[in-house]
């Protein structure tokens, strides 16, 4: 079984901002981040439970070579990515986003 990976709007904005920042630092670096993220997404489509639960039912999947991770929830048919956060710049921002997401459910 494969899962649909769905980005919540805020997560999509998080990723777009990270992509733009890397691309502004060095042309092509944003595309390298995108390729690494796509590899992680491909793994989430096949085996979303591979990463451990870090808070409530949420998991964290690192993006290889970059200090970012997807924070996501697994449902019966989907992987819902609720945030894309930098490990060092915003180590606790994900908790606020997850709390906000849970309060909207």
The pLDDT value given to residue 63: 98
> What is the reported pTM?
0.93
Please tell me the distance from the alpha carbon of residue 2 to that of residue 79, in angstroms, as a whole number.
10
Please tell me the distance from the alpha carbon of residue 100 to that of residue 10, in angstroms, as a whole number.
11
Q: Any idea where the domains of the chain sit in the sequence?
A: 4-104
Q: What angle do CA 38, 42, 44 make, to 5 degrees?
A: 115
The pLDDT value given to residue 89: 80
Class of the domain covering 4-104:
alpha beta
The pLDDT value given to residue 91: 74
Q: What angle do CA 65, 67, 73 make, to 5 degrees?
A: 105
Please tell me the distance from the alpha carbon of residue 87 to that of residue 96, in angstroms, as a whole number.
14
Q: Map 7-63 to HEC letters.
A: ECHHHHHHHHHHHHHHHHHCCCHHHHHHHHHHHHHHHHHHCHHHCCEEECCEEEEEC
The pLDDT value given to residue 104: 87
Per-block average pLDDT, block size 10, for the chain (105 residues)? 96 97 97 98 98 95 97 96 89 85 84
The pLDDT value given to residue 92: 78
């Amino acid at each position: 079984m494969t899962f649909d990976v769905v980005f919540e709007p805020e997560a999509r904005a998080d990723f777009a901002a990270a992509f733009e920042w890397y691309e502004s630092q060095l042309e092509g670096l944003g595309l390298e981040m995108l390729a690494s993220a796509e590899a992680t997404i491909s793994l989430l489509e096949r085996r979303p439970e591979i990463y451990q639960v870090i808070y409530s039912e949420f998991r964290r999947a690192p993006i290889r070579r970059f200090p970012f991770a997807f924070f996501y929830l697994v449902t019966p048919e989907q992987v819902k990515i609720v945030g894309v956060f930098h490990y060092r710049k915003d180590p606790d921002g994900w908790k606020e986003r997850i709390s906000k997401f849970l309060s909207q459910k």
